[in-house]
Amino acid sequence: MNKHTDNIAQRSESGRWRGLLALTTVLALVSAGVLLAREAPAQSAQVVRPELLTAGDSVMVHFESLTAGDSVEGLGAVHPLLEITALNGAGIVIETGDVLLTQVTYGAPQIGNQPDGAGPGPSRFNNCLEDASGNRVNVNISAGATAKGFGDAVARAAGSPEDFRFTFAPGVKVNDFSIRMFDFGDFNPGRSANHTVTLTAYDSFGQFVDADVLSYNSSTALAPRSSDFGDLLATGDACDAAADLSQPGYWEFRVADPSGARTIARVELITDPAGADPNGGYDSIVFDALCTRTIGYWKNHSWDGAVVRVNADDINEATGRESIAGMKDGMLWKARGNNFSLLWAQLIAAKLNCGVFDCTGGSIDAAELFLASSGIGVSNFDDAFANKTQKRRANELANVLDLFNNMFHCRGTADPVPLEKTPKKAGGNS
């Protein structure tokens, strides 16, 4: 039996790279009074690396800039929002080609068995992982090329399944999560006829949300030549399995919240030990993300009818961005650091971002109260500061709101903003 909860083609058509992820950790920062201090806010040393690209509002996690042998475990090791935990050993970065034996989790292709021409051999360590563009890299064909993923060399050495748990930063929940598996099925040390690998999603209460199951039958040979997928020396091989992710050697698991309510808090990838192939690897994690946007974005893009309220004033797109298409005469275009207009612009951008985030309290409320107590509304939003104390407080609030607006700023296929950086200016451009 081959059970797959979704069809790969259907996934592609439905736009598997799109969706939402609740970034409540950012909101916690904004709501925390500590971020109102004058000093540059203390931030994590974690770096959003260049290959952590965004496609639409999704995050694609590759491993190309990491070093083979580095741990992938712990929050922020591969992405600020993602925590990976190896359940049977130690999760590390793996790399194609000639690497240390302690960094090997499988070999591919099987020598002399390349029926679809994806070879040639010989078998190479961790071969045919994906590069940052999602292309499998066969070092026998592309001399000098490399690709990286992750696996568990400790579990492999012990003959145990390479099982993993994926969780997220405190308060963060995911709507959609996928991962690709490499080189499963061509080795059957348990001589089992039944093989099952399951990716299961749970909510924050530990309740089931969704599952994606790979389940099939094979011969009981150590290297099965017959199965529901045919000859597993080919279909279970990382290099020779079909490119459409439809065979165990190159397979994509995906789970999603069917309600679209972003309830997934934990995902587990578990292999039934009896039918496990302990020699394999993983790559290309994708999860859906909400994005915060900067002043520069909101003054150059439609608000889609959104209206934000600041104290007693309602600001629509005509007031905030442009009264007539192309006019560029709205409040965001007039933001300057020498008067209240910059704080207004950052607050408007934050409120627009809060159209998809539930972010009340903290710095947003503090900014509104400060504007109200200073007698600053829409009609006089660009008034000069009355004194240095007022200017300092306005700039403090503007800087905190700018940090929020930049914190998970998605830029199409450009690099996200590194988390360890404090924005240069409160009014940074998109």
Residues 158 and 189 in one domain: yes
Q: Which two tokens stand for residue 254?
A: 């995906």
CA distance 200 to 269: 7
The pTM assigned to this predicted structure is 0.63
Q: What angle is formed at CA 407 by the lines to CA 404 and CA 413, rounded to 5 degrees?
A: 140
Q: Is residue 209 part of a domain?
A: yes
Q: Is residue 1 part of a domain?
A: no
Residues 314 and 265 in one domain: no
CA distance 124 to 108: 5
Q: Is residue 367 part of a domain?
A: yes
Among 230, 256, 288, the domain boundary falls at: 288
Q: Which two tokens stand for residue 104?
A: 């090997």
In terms of Cα–Cα distance, which of 89, 96, 19 is closest to 56? 19
DSSP 300-356: TS--TT--EEETTEEE-HHHHT-SSTT---SGGGG--TTBTHHHHHHHHHHHHHTTT
Q: Is residue 43 part of a domain?
A: no
Q: Which two tokens stand for residue 20?
A: 């939402």
Residues 254 and 345 in one domain: no
CA distance 301 to 58: 19
In terms of Cα–Cα distance, which of 421, 425, 410 is closest to 18? 410
Residues 356 and 260 in one domain: no
Q: Is residue 76 part of a domain?
A: yes
Alpha helix segments (H runs only) across 354-387: 362-373
Residues 150 and 188 in one domain: yes
Tokens 């450009």 sit at which residue?
A: 414
Indicate the helix (H) or strand (E) that contains 295: helix 295-298
CA distance 262 to 176: 8
Provide the residue-wise pLDDT of the chain in tens; the chain has 430 residues: 444 444 333 333 332 322 222 333 333 333 333 232 222 222 222 222 223 333 335 778 889 989 999 999 999 899 878 899 999 999 999 999 867 888 888 888 875 444 444 445 578 888 999 998 889 999 888 877 889 999 999 999 999 999 999 998 765 678 899 999 999 999 999 999 999 999 999 998 999 999 999 999 999 999 999 999 999 999 999 999 999 999 999 999 999 988 877 788 999 999 999 999 999 999 999 998 655 678 998 999 888 888 999 999 999 999 999 988 888 899 999 999 999 999 999 999 988 877 655 465 578 889 999 999 999 999 999 999 999 999 999 999 999 898 888 765 443 222 222 222 222 233 333 3
Residues 370 and 301 in one domain: yes
Q: Which two tokens stand for residue 224?
A: 């099965």
* Count of structural domains, the chain: 2
Q: Is residue 33 part of a domain?
A: no
Residues 262 and 378 in one domain: no
Among 288, 310, 327, the domain boundary falls at: 288
Q: Which one-letter DSSP state was computed for residue 140? A: T
Residues 281 and 314 in one domain: no
Cis peptide, bond prior to residue 278, ω within 30 of zero: no
Q: b vs e for 212-241, b when ≥16 Cβ sit within 10 Å of the residue's Cβ?
A: bebbbbbeeeeebeebebebbbbbbbbbbb
> Are the CB atoms for 427 and 394 separated by under 8 Å?
no
Q: Is residue 36 part of a domain?
A: no
Residues 209 and 345 in one domain: no
DSSP 86-124: ESSS--EEEESSS--GGG---EESPTT--TTS------E
DSSP 395-412: HHHHHHHHHHHHHTB--T
Residues 251 and 381 in one domain: no
Q: Is residue 347 part of a domain?
A: yes
Among 221, 255, 288, the domain boundary falls at: 288
| Residue-range definition of the domain harbouring residue 156 | 8-20+57-288
Residues 279 and 309 in one domain: no
Residues 172 and 273 in one domain: yes
